[in-house]
C-alpha cells in the first residue's frame, strides 16, 4: 500500500457532531464517511479493519461447526406476519412496498427467514443439531442513530441460528457459541464482560450479552466479585412489547385475608390462574402480586435476570423481608404504569394487587404514595450498590458497549411458523432454536473506543489495517527513498502487511497521520540514521522508539 495513492482523506479538525472517540477518530483517520444519519461508507482502511474482524468472526464460527450462508436483506412481510413480529417489532422495522403492492422489510434480524428456510428441508432428528450463520448488512430505524458505527441504522452483523431436537443439545451449542464470542472479543483486543441480559424483541428466556467495557457505552452494568454480572437495562421493562395498564388505585377492605390464596378467593380470581408474587425490592418490603391467567409460569424471573428488578421471592426471602408467607407488603406500581410481561412470562398479568395495612388491599396502588420507592426506575432497575442476587455483596457499576448477544429462543419461532422435525418415534416436534449475533461494525468502533489516545487510534495487531508503516523522511532522496522501499519489500516478504508513506509531505504531517491512523509499528527511514546503517522503530501503543540496525530489522520483526 502506498500512502500517495491510498484513499484515506485524514482531517486535522474534529468533526462537529462526533461526540465520542471512536466516531471522531474513524472520521478523522479517513476510515469512514457519513452518507446519511446512521448510514456510513467504509473507506479502504476502515474496510480493511472490518474485513479482519469478519475474518476472526468467521474462523470462530467455523470452529463451532456452523456453516456460512447468505440470506437476502429484503424480506417478505408474510413471514413476519407468521411470527407475529410485523406488528410487534414497531417503528424500528424498515418497511417498504414493491410495485405490485407486496409488503417487505429490510431485515433487522433473520429468525423468520431462517425458520422458513429450514422448515421444509430439515426433516429428521438425524440432521440435528444444525447451525447456520451469515455476515450481512442489517437495517434498524433506530430512534436516535448516534455515535457513528456504535448505533447506526445500517450496520454489519454476524447472525447465527441453531436448530435442535432438545434442550440439552441447544445448551451445548449455546455454550460453544458463548466460548466463541469470548474468543472473538479477545482476538479483537477487547476488554469485555459477559452479562445476564434481557432478550428484548428477539424473544426467549436465557440470554447473555458480551459487553466491551467503555465509558462511552450506552449500557449500564452491575457486577460482583463472585462472578455475577448483569445489564441494568434502564427502561427495558417499559420498552417491552406486552404491557398491562395498572388501573386507578382502589382500596378494598379485605377482613381476614392474609394469604395470596385468600386474596384470590376474595377478589374472585379464577382458580385456573397462577398465583405468583413478584417483588420490586424485597428488602424494601415492596411486594407486587400478580395473578396470571391459565397455567403460565413465572418462575424464570429472578432479580436482575429475565426481568431486571423483579424477584420471585422464595419463602426464606419473604421471611427475611419481613413478609408473611403468602401475604403481601406494600405495593409499588403507579397508576397508568405499563406493567410488562416479557416473552418468558408468555402472558399478561390480569390482576395486580397488594396491601400495606392489615385487612386492606390496594388494586393498582400508586408509586411513591403507597410505599417507599420513589420512581418506577427504582423498581425496575438493578443498581450499583444493590445486593448481588448470587452472594448478597453490594454490586459494582460499569458502562459497556453491547458488542454481541447469544439467545436461547426455545420454540417461539418454530411453533409460530410450523417448523417441525420427526423425532426417533416419527413424531413431529417443533425445533428448539438458538440465535447468536455479533455487531461486526459496532465491534470495530468498540475497539477504537478502548484503544486510543490524544494522537489517534492504537489498533491491536490482529485487526490493524496494516501492521507496519514505513516512513521515508525525505521523498525523492537518492538514499532514503530506495532504502525505505527496500525495507517495505523485505518486511512484506516476511508476511507483514506494510504501507509506505511515499507522499511528498513534511515529516511532521506523516508522523501525525501515522499516529492518527494508528499503525501498530512505524519505521522511520532518515538520512542521519542511514549514515550509521540504522532506522528508527516506533511502537504506537507505548510511543517507545528504538534505533535498529537495518541488518537486524527483519530478524526483530519475526
Ligand atoms: P442495542 O441494545 O444496542 O439496541 P440490540 O440488543 O437491539 O442492541 P441485538 O438484536 O442483540 O441488538 O443484535 C445483535 C448485535 O447487533 C448487538 O449485540 C449489537 O452488537 C449489534 N447492533 C444492534 N443494533 C445495532 C445498531 N443500531 N448499530 C450497530 N450495531 C448494532
Ligand atoms: Mg436495539
Ligand atoms: Mg440490547
Ligand atoms: Mg442485544
Q: What is the DSSP string of 372-440?
A: S--SHHHHH---TTSBPTTT-SBPEEEEEEEEEEEEEEETHHHHHTT-EEE-TTS-EEEPEEEEEEEEH
For residue 140, the ligand closest to its alpha carbon is 1
- With a CB cutoff of 8 Å and minimum separation 6, the contacts of 392 are none
Whether 460 and 520 have beta carbons less than 8 Å apart is answered as yes
Cα-to-centroid distance, 140 and ligand 2 (Å): 8
C-alpha cell at 246: 395498572
Q: How many helices (H) and strands (E) does the chain have?
A: 16, 31
With the most atoms of ligand 1 within 8 angstroms of its CB, the residue from 144, 202, 342, 402 to mutate is: 402
Cα-to-centroid distance, 439 and ligand 1 (Å): 6
Alpha-helical regions (H) of 502-558:
507-517, 527-531, 550-557
Res. 203 pLDDT band, cuts 50 70 90: low
Task: Look at residue 242 in the predicted model and tell me its pLDDT.
Answer: 31
For residue 439, the ligand closest to its alpha carbon is 1
φ/ψ (deg, to 5) at 64? -80, -10
Cα-to-centroid distance, 78 and ligand 2 (Å): 23
Residue 527 pLDDT exceeds 70: yes
Alpha-carbon torsion 85, 88, 90, 95, what sign?
positive
Cα separation of 367 and 479, whole Å? 79
Average pLDDT estimate for 18-44: 97
Residue 479 pLDDT exceeds 50: yes
- The mean of the pLDDT values for the chain is 80
Beta bridge partners of 362: 251, 354
State how far the alpha carbon of 153 is from the alpha carbons of 28, 143, 148, 202, 530, in Å: 21, 9, 10, 17, 51
Task: Look at residue 198 in the predicted model and tell me its pLDDT.
Answer: 67
Residue 497 pLDDT exceeds 50: yes
Residue 451 pLDDT exceeds 50: yes
Residue among 244, 192, 241 nearest 219 (CA): 192
| Residues in contact with ligand 1 (CB, 6 Å cut-off) | 109, 140, 142, 151-152, 155, 157, 200, 202, 402-405, 437, 439, 441-442
Quote the pTM value: 0.78
| Of 51-60, 88-97, 352-361, the least confident | 352-361
Average pLDDT estimate for 130-154: 96
φ/ψ (deg, to 5) at 16? -60, -45
Residue 284 pLDDT exceeds 80: no
H or E stretch covering 446: helix 440-450
Whether 458 and 452 have beta carbons less than 8 Å apart is answered as yes
For residue 159, the ligand closest to its alpha carbon is 1
- With a CB cutoff of 8 Å and minimum separation 6, the contacts of 245 are 336, 337, 338, 339
Cα separation of 291 and 269, whole Å? 8
Cα-to-centroid distance, 211 and ligand 3 (Å): 10
Average pLDDT estimate for 529-550: 94
Whether 136 and 437 have beta carbons less than 8 Å apart is answered as no
Whether 340 and 379 have beta carbons less than 8 Å apart is answered as no
Whether 196 and 231 have beta carbons less than 8 Å apart is answered as yes
For residue 217, the ligand closest to its alpha carbon is 1
Residue among 389, 390, 436, 431 nearest 413 (CA): 431
Cα-to-centroid distance, 388 and ligand 1 (Å): 27
Cα separation of 490 and 485, whole Å? 9
Residue 126 pLDDT exceeds 70: yes
* Protein residues placing their CB within 5 Å of the ion ligand 3: 402
User: Radius of gyration of the chain from Cα atoms?
Assistant: 28
Nearest CA to ligand 1 atom 7: 200
Residue 120 pLDDT exceeds 60: yes
Cα separation of 463 and 188, whole Å? 6
Task: Look at residue 301 in the predicted model and tell me its pLDDT.
Answer: 29
Task: Look at residue 258 in the predicted model and tell me its pLDDT.
Answer: 54
Whether 329 and 278 have beta carbons less than 8 Å apart is answered as no
Cα separation of 53 and 38, whole Å? 21
Cα separation of 195 and 222, whole Å? 9
Task: Look at residue 201 in the predicted model and tell me its pLDDT.
Answer: 56
Q: Give the residue with greater pLDDT, 401 vs 297.
A: 401
Cα separation of 17 and 92, whole Å? 23
Cα separation of 280 and 370, whole Å? 14
Res. 276 pLDDT band, cuts 50 70 90: very low
Task: Look at residue 282 in the predicted model and tell me its pLDDT.
Answer: 32
Q: How many residues does the chain have?
A: 558
Q: Are strands 94-97 and 103-106 parallel, antiparallel or unpaired?
A: antiparallel
Task: Look at residue 156 in the predicted model and tell me its pLDDT.
Answer: 98
State how far the alpha carbon of 392 is from the alpha carbons of 227, 304, 387, 389, 398, in Å: 12, 13, 5, 6, 18
Task: Look at residue 60 in the predicted model and tell me its pLDDT.
Answer: 98
Task: Look at residue 82 in the predicted model and tell me its pLDDT.
Answer: 95
Count the neighbouring beta carbons within 10 Å of the beta carbon of residue 14: 12
Task: Look at residue 377 in the predicted model and tell me its pLDDT.
Answer: 40
Cα separation of 51 and 423, whole Å? 40
Ligand 1 atom showing the smallest separation from residue 407 Cα: 11
C-alpha cell at 29: 483517520
Q: Give the residue with greater pLDDT, 147 vs 16.
A: 147
Cα separation of 414 and 410, whole Å? 8
Cα separation of 459 and 455, whole Å? 13
Cα-to-centroid distance, 194 and ligand 2 (Å): 17
Cα separation of 53 and 184, whole Å? 8
Cα separation of 325 and 314, whole Å? 9
Average pLDDT estimate for 407-432: 95
Nearest CA to ligand 1 atom 8: 402
Task: Look at residue 261 in the predicted model and tell me its pLDDT.
Answer: 62
Task: Look at residue 363 in the predicted model and tell me its pLDDT.
Answer: 52
Q: Match 420498552 to its residue by C-alpha cell.
A: 239
**Phi-psi category of residue 347: left, alpha or beta, with phi > 0 → left and psi -120 to 50 → alpha:** beta
With the most atoms of ligand 1 within 8 angstroms of its CB, the residue from 220, 434, 437, 448 to mutate is: 437
Nearest CA to ligand 1 atom 16: 439
Nearest CA to ligand 1 atom 6: 200
Task: Look at residue 202 in the predicted model and tell me its pLDDT.
Answer: 58
User: Judging by beta carbons within 10 Å of its beta carbon (0-12, 13-18, 19+), is residue 412 exposed, middle or buried?
Assistant: buried
Residue 405 pLDDT exceeds 90: yes
| Of 231-235, 462-466, 503-507, 541-545, the least confident | 231-235
Cα-to-centroid distance, 404 and ligand 4 (Å): 7
Interior/surface letters 225-241, b for 16+ CB within 10 angstroms, e for the rest: eeebbbbbbbebbeebb
Amino acid at each position: 500500500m502506498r500512502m500517495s495513492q491510498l484513499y484515506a482523506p485524514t482531517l486535522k479538525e474534529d468533526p462537529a457532531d462526533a461526540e465520542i472517540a471512536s466516531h471522531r477518530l474513524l472520521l478523522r483517520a479517513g476510515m469512514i464517511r457519513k452518507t446519511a444519519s446512521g448510514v456510513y461508507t467504509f473507506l479502504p482502511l476502515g474496510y480493511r479493519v472490518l474485513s479482519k474482524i469478519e475474518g476472526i468472526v468467521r474462523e470462530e464460527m467455523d470452529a463451532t461447526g456452523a456453516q456460512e450462508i447468505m440470506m437476502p436483506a429484503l424480506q417478505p412481510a408474510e413471514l413476519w406476519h407468521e411470527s407475529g413480529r410485523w406488528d410487534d417489532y414497531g417503528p424500528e422495522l424498515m418497511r417498504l412496498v414493491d410495485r405490485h403492492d407486496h409488503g417487505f422489510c429490510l431485515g433487522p434480524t433473520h429468525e423468520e427467514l431462517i425458520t422458513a428456510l429450514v422448515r421444509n428441508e430439515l426433516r429428521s432428528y438425524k440432521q440435528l443439531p444444525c447451525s447456520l450463520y451469515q455476515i450481512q448488512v442489517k437495517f434498524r430505524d433506530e430512534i436516535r442513530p448516534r455515535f457513528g458505527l456504535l448505533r447506526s441504522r445500517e450496520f454489519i452483523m454476524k447472525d447465527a441460528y441453531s436448530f435442535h431436537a432438545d434442550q440439552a443439545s441447544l445448551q451445548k451449542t449455546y455454550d460453544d457459541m458463548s466460548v466463541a464470542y469470548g474468543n472473538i472479543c479477545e482476538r479483537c483486543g477487547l476488554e469485555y464482560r459477559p452479562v445476564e441480559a434481557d432478550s428484548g424483541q428477539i424473544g426467549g428466556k436465557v440470554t447473555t450479552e458480551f459487553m466491551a467495557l467503555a465509558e462511552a457505552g450506552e449500557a449500564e452494568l452491575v457486577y460482583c466479585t463472585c462472578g455475577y454480572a448483569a445489564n441494568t437495562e434502564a427502561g427495558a421493562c417499559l420498552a417491552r412489547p406486552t404491557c398491562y395498564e395498572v388501573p386507578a388505585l382502589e382500596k378494598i377492605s379485605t377482613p381476614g385475608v392474609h394469604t395470596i390464596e385468600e386474596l384470590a378467593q376474595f377478589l374472585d380470581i379464577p382458580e385456573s390462574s397462577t398465583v405468583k408474587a413478584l417483588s420490586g425490592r424485597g428488602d424494601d418490603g415492596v411486594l407486587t402480586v400478580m395473578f396470571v391467567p391459565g397455567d403460565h409460569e413465572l418462575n424464570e424471573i429472578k432479580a436482575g435476570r429475565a426481568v431486571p428488578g423483579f424477584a420471585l421471592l422464595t419463602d426464606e426471602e419473604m421471611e427475611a423481608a419481613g413478609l408473611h408467607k403468602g401475604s403481601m407488603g406494600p405495593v409499588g406500581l403507579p397508576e397508568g404504569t405499563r406493567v410488562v410481561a416479557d416473552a418468558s412470562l408468555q402472558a399478561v398479568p390480569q390482576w395486580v394487587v397488594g396491601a400495606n395495612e392489615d385487612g386492606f388491599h390496594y388494586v393498582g396502588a400508586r408509586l411513591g404514595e403507597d410505599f417507599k420507592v420513589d420512581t418506577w426506575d427504582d423498581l425496575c432497575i438493578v443498581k450499583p450498590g444493590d445486593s448481588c442476587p448470587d452472594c448478597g455483596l453490594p454490586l459494582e457499576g460499569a458502562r459497556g458497549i453491547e458488542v454481541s448477544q447469544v439467545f436461547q429462543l426455545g420454540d417461539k419461532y418454530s411453533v409460530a411458523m410450523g417448523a417441525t422435525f420427526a423425532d426417533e418415534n416419527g413424531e413431529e416436534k417443533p425445533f428448539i432454536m438458538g440465535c447468536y449475533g455479533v455487531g461486526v461494525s459496532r465491534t470495530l468502533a468498540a475497539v477504537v473506543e478502548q484503544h486510543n489516545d490524544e494522537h489517534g487510534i492504537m489498533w491491536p495487531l490482529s485487526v490493524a489495517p496494516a501492521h507496519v508503516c514505513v516512513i521515508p523522511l525525505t521523498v525523492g532522496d537518492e538514499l532514503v527513498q530506495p532504502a525505505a522501499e527496500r525495507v517495505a519489500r523485505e518486511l512484506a516478504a516476511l508476511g507483514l502487511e506494510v504501507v509506505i508513506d511515499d507522499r511528498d509531505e513534511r515529516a511532521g504531517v506523516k508522523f501525525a497521520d501515522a499516529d492518527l491512523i494508528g499503525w501498530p509499528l512505524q519505521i522511520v527511514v532518515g538520512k542521519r540514521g542511514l549514515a550509521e546503517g540504522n532506522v528508527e522503530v516506533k511502537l504506537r501503543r507505548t510511543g517507545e522508539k528504538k534505533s535498529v540496525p537495518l541488518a537486524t530489522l527483519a530478524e526483530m520483526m519475526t
